[in-house]
Amino acid sequence: MKLRLAGMKTLLLTGAMCLAASLFGQPAQASGETIRVALFVDTGTGYRGVVPSVTLGSAGGLSVRLSGAEGAVSLPLGEVKQARFSLDRFSVIAAQTGGLMEAQQVAQKLSQQKLDASIQVESFGGNTVYQVVSGSFRTYEQAASHAQAVTQVTGISPKVTGPYRLEAGSFATLQEARDWERAFELSGIPAHTVIVAANGQPSYEVWVGDEVTEGKRNELAAAAAALYPGFTYQKPNNQAYVLLKQDVLTGGGQAETIPRYSFSSAAKLTVLPNGGQPPLIKVEERAGRQYRGVMELSEYNGHLTLVNELPLEQYLYGVVGSEMAAGWPLEALKAQAVLARTRALGQGSKYGIAHLSDTVLEQAYYGYEREAEDIRRAVDETAGVVIRYQGKLAEALYYSNAGGMTADGAEVWGNAIPYLRPVESNDGYPMLTAKTWYLVQLLDGSIGYVRHDFVDMLPLKNELGLQIGQVNTDNLNFRNGPSTTYHRSLMTLPAGTQVTIIAQVPEENAFSWTRGPYSASEITEMINKSQQQNKAPVLSRPVRSLVVTERGPSGRVMAMEADGVRLAVSSPDAHRSIFRQGESGLRSSKFEVEQMGSFVVLGAGGRKAQFPQESTSALQAIGANGAGPVPANGGSEDFLVYDGQIWRVASLVPKFVFHGFGYGHGLGLSQFGARAMAEQGYDYRQILQHYYHDVTIGP
C-alpha cells in the first residue's frame, strides 16, 4: 500500500512533585538573633550530606576552641591559616611509603573511584613515612568492608587502624609532649600528642597506639613498658580531646603540610577567624566558599557535622545573593530578602543541631562570594520584615520560574493553601537572553540540533525552500536537543558539513525546556522504578502510550497513565521526579508529552493507519507530485512531517519528548516574575501581595 503522511499526533502530559511542608511555620523571633546552618550533616530523617574530613582556612589565621564535659579551652596552636578536621575513629591506611609521589599515585587512584583519600605524614624509626588514609568509620566492621574496596582499586592490602590507645603521660608544655611523641615513634611505636581540657586550661598528653580492639591495646601496653618503663600506660580518662596530626596537601612534588585535628565524639570544636574585613572562614569541601561567623564541628547521628553559626541578617546576605543575583532590581531583591527571612525563621530547629541546611531543601546559601552592595542593601532595608497569615509565619515558598502562571496548592501537595492561589506571572525574561539553536537535517537524513553561531548561511535553499547552512568549526556536537547540559551528543561534525535548517528554537532556559527524546524502554525503566518505590503495579512491556489524564488550574499535571496504568505518586508534583535523567528530574510539572511514534498515515482511498504499530519497517511515502514511493527518511527511525505550518520530527518506534515551562514547584513567588514586576515599577510589598493573598507584611 502506498501511503501519504498526513500528520503527527501530539499528546499533552502534566505532573507534580511533593514538598513536605506545613501551611504555617513557627512564631517569628527577633531579627537580631543568630542562626545555625548545617553545611555537612546527616539528619537521620532523609537528608544526608557528609564528608570524612573538613578543611577550614582563613587569611588572618584560625582560632580553635575545644569544649566538652571537662570544660572549654582555647587550643594553643600558634599561627595556623589552614587546618583539616576529622573524628578520631576507625580508618583504613591504604598505603604506607617513604615516597611522596608513590603516596600521591595511590591517593589519586582512590579519588578517581570516588573513594576518600588523604595523605598523612608520620615519623617511624627516624624515617618520614607517608600514609594514604581513607575513610572514617564508627565500627571496625565498616572499616574492614571499606578496606576490601580499597584493595580492589589499588591491589594493595590495607591496614585498619582504630581509636584504642594508651595514655603514656601528661606534660607541662606542648613542646615536651611533642618531644616524647617523637621518642616513641623513633622506637617504632605509633604515638600522638593529645590536648584535653583540664580545669579551664589545656593539658598536654602523649597517647600511644592506633589499635582496633581492647585486647590489642593491652598487648601494646606490655611492649611500650618494655621500652619506656617510666610511664603508667593507662586507658585515657578524658572524654573530650583533640589528637594532633599532619596532613599533606596533595599535588606537587614537595610535602606542604597542614595540621589535622582529630577529635573525639564527646568533643565540640569551635573555629573562629582571626581578623579580616569581614572575618571569613573558607570551607574547601564546600567548593572553597567563604563564610561569615564561626564554624562548629561535632559528631551528630554518627557523622562529622559542620555548622555555620552567624547573625541571621548576615546569613540573609548569602541567601539572597544565592537565590537571586546582584544587579537584579532592588525591589525584587527586597522581596526575596523578606521571603528568605520568613523561611529561615519558620524552620525552627529542623535538624536538631541546626535550624536548616545550606541546600535548596530550605534555601540556597553559598556564602560571602554571593554578597554584593545591592544585596546587603535589600536585606538591611527590610530588616526584621516577614510575611504572616492569621498571625503566624506563612510558608515562604519561592522558586525560579512559574512558566506563566503560579500553581495551586492542590497541584503540588494535593491540598489547597488559602494564601497561595494561581496568578499570572510574567516569566518570559529567560527567553530574551537564550541563545538560538537550529533543528537541522544532515545529508544522510540524521536529525538533531546545533547552536546557531556555529553555522554560516549559504546562498542555497533546497527544493522545499529550506535554508542550507555550513558548519564553521571542527568537532561540533550534534545533539538530540537544544542544550549542552541535558541533551546528549549524537556525533561530532567537521567544519564544512552542510545542514538543512528545519527550524530555530531557544536554548533550554528557566521558562522553556525539553527533555528527551526517550525510548520506550528508557521511559518504562523510569516508570517501573517509581512504581516499585510507591508499591504500585509495574509495566510488563515497553510503554507505547503515555498521556496526561488530569491537569490543575494552572495547567500542571495531576494524573498520568502509561498504557492505561495510572502512575502512582506521593503527591501531584512528584510526577516530575518519575522521569529522571541522572540525578535531575523534570524542571516543573507544567509540561506536555510529545509522542513521536504516534501519528496517522493517510493512504489511498482515504484509508488511515494509526501508529505506533507492531511493525513499521515497510512504511513508505510518495510526494505531492507522485514521486516515490520511498522509505520514510531513507529507512531511519526518525523522519520529518510538515503540516503546512510547522515541521515536526516523527518516529517509526515509540519515543517520548517532554516540552515544559517553568522551573520549580510553582507555589508562591516566581523569582523571574518578581524581577519583571520590579522592572515595571512595583515595590517589594506589592510584589509579595501579588503572589501571597490575605497576608500581612511587617516586623
Q: How far is CA 656 from CA 13, 63, 418, in A?
A: 11, 57, 36
**What is the average pLDDT across 111-140?**
90
pTM of the model: 0.85
Distance CA 678, CA 686 (A): 9
pLDDT of 613 higher than 80: no
pLDDT: is 583 or 228 the higher one? 228
Distance CA 77, CA 80 (A): 7
- What the block records as the C-alpha cell of 610 is 494509526
pLDDT of 159 higher than 90: yes
Q: What is the DSSP string of 133-198?
A: EEEEESSHHHHHHHHHHHHHHHS---EEE-SEEEEEEEESSHHHHHHHHHHHHHTT--EEEEEEEE
137-151, 212-226, 241-255: segment of lowest average pLDDT: 241-255
pLDDT value for 391: 93
142-156, 491-505, 608-622: segment of lowest average pLDDT: 608-622
Q: Return the exposure string of 337-374: e unless at least 16 CB atoms fall within 10 Å of the residue's CB, then b.
A: bbbbbbbbbbbeebbebbbbbbeeebbbbbbbebbbeb
pLDDT value for 13: 27
- What the block records as the C-alpha cell of 544 is 507505547
Reported as a single tens digit per residue, the pLDDT across 245-262 is 999 986 666 778 899 999
**What is the average pLDDT across 182-191?**
89
144-148, 246-250, 325-329, 627-631: segment of lowest average pLDDT: 627-631
pLDDT value for 619: 60
Phi-psi region of 95 (alpha: psi -120 to 50; beta: other; left: phi over 0): beta
Of 651, 602, 598, 576, give the one whose Cα is nearest residue 10. Answer: 598
Q: What is the DSSP string of 10-40?
A: -------------SB-PPP--TTSEEEEEEE
Average per-residue pLDDT in the chain? 88
Neighbours of 583 (CB within 10 A): 5
pLDDT value for 696: 96
Q: How far is CA 211 from CA 166, 217, 320, 578, 676, in A?
A: 10, 6, 48, 47, 63
Strand spans (E) along 220-256: 241-248
pLDDT: is 665 or 617 the higher one? 665
Q: How confident is the model at residue 485 (pLDDT cuts 50, 70, 90)?
A: confident
pLDDT of 604 higher than 60: no
Reported as a single tens digit per residue, the pLDDT across 2-45 is 333 333 333 222 333 333 333 333 333 434 589 999 999 998 77
pLDDT of 615 higher than 60: no
Q: Are strands 34-42 and 356-357 parallel, antiparallel or unpaired?
A: parallel
Reported as a single tens digit per residue, the pLDDT across 508-538 is 999 999 998 999 999 999 999 999 999 999 9
Reported as a single tens digit per residue, the pLDDT across 38-72 is 999 998 777 889 999 999 999 999 999 999 888 89
pLDDT value for 1: 29
Q: How confident is the model at residue 605 (pLDDT cuts 50, 70, 90)?
A: low
Which residues, at least 6 apart from 392, have a Cβ–Cβ distance to it below 8 Å?
24, 25, 27
pLDDT of 75 higher than 50: yes
Q: What are phi and psi of 282, to 5 degrees?
A: -95, 135
